Amino acid sequence: MNTKCRALCAALPILALLALGGGGSSARAEEKKPVVGLVMKSLANEFFKSMEEGAYLAGKELAKKLGKGGKVFIIEGNPGADNAKMRKAGFEKAAKEGGLKVLVSRTAHWETEEANTLVTNLLTSHPDVQGIMAANDSMALGVVKALDAAGKSGKVQVVGFDNIPAIQKMVKDGKVLATIDQFGPEMAANCIKTGFRMKKGDHLKGWIKTPVKLVTANDLM
């Protein structure tokens, strides 16, 4: 970063909005930060913690439903991606605490049809599976499609992540046990409101976080 750029960054407030791969919400306002990358690194760390927290909540709900010894799959996001790693870590933490047995952990790269194909094959080799943790709702849709074809929908419990509209009907119908909402629209609204406050001269620092919430059929009634 050259001297001119550093001087410009030092004179301007920074309002950082973060939305990474599959949902989430976190924003931070900083006054006179000369190195933008440090702010974004700190923000990303906070954001990824919420990813792990959400997956942990979904995993806990599955463990509560299945009880100790329940046999599960984890359907991961893109290998190596930070959000995928944190969601997997949250699932694994919940599985360990709840006494679940993870039979298989495989990636479907966030994709519905890939998750459908993957789970169709896994059901053949592990017909005794009782629950499936999908790292986003798009993959959860594929999981349900595979379970429908195998006649196991509603018998094998599924949890997802993102609370997309397409998954909500499946939660209501009992095909999906739960999903996670990180309130993405509220993230954008918070960012706009904060920007206007800073424009008016308010001196703001710190985080504006939206919640991480477990969503079950009771929440959608």
- 197 and 110 within one domain: no
Q: What is the pLDDT of residue 36?
A: 40
Q: What is the pLDDT of residue 173?
A: 95
Residue 97 domain-assigned? Answer: yes
Q: What is the pLDDT of residue 54?
A: 95
Residue 9 domain-assigned? Answer: yes
- 89 and 138 within one domain: yes
Q: Which ranges of the chain have pLDDT less than 70? A: 1-48, 183-196, 198-199, 204-210
Q: What is the CATH number of the domain that holds 148?
A: 3.40.50.2300
Range of the domain at 23: 3-47+185-209
- 110 and 83 within one domain: yes
- 73 and 101 within one domain: yes
Q: What is the pLDDT of residue 67?
A: 97
- 170 and 118 within one domain: yes
Residues 6+ apart with CB under 8 A from 96: none
Q: What is the pLDDT of residue 20?
A: 42
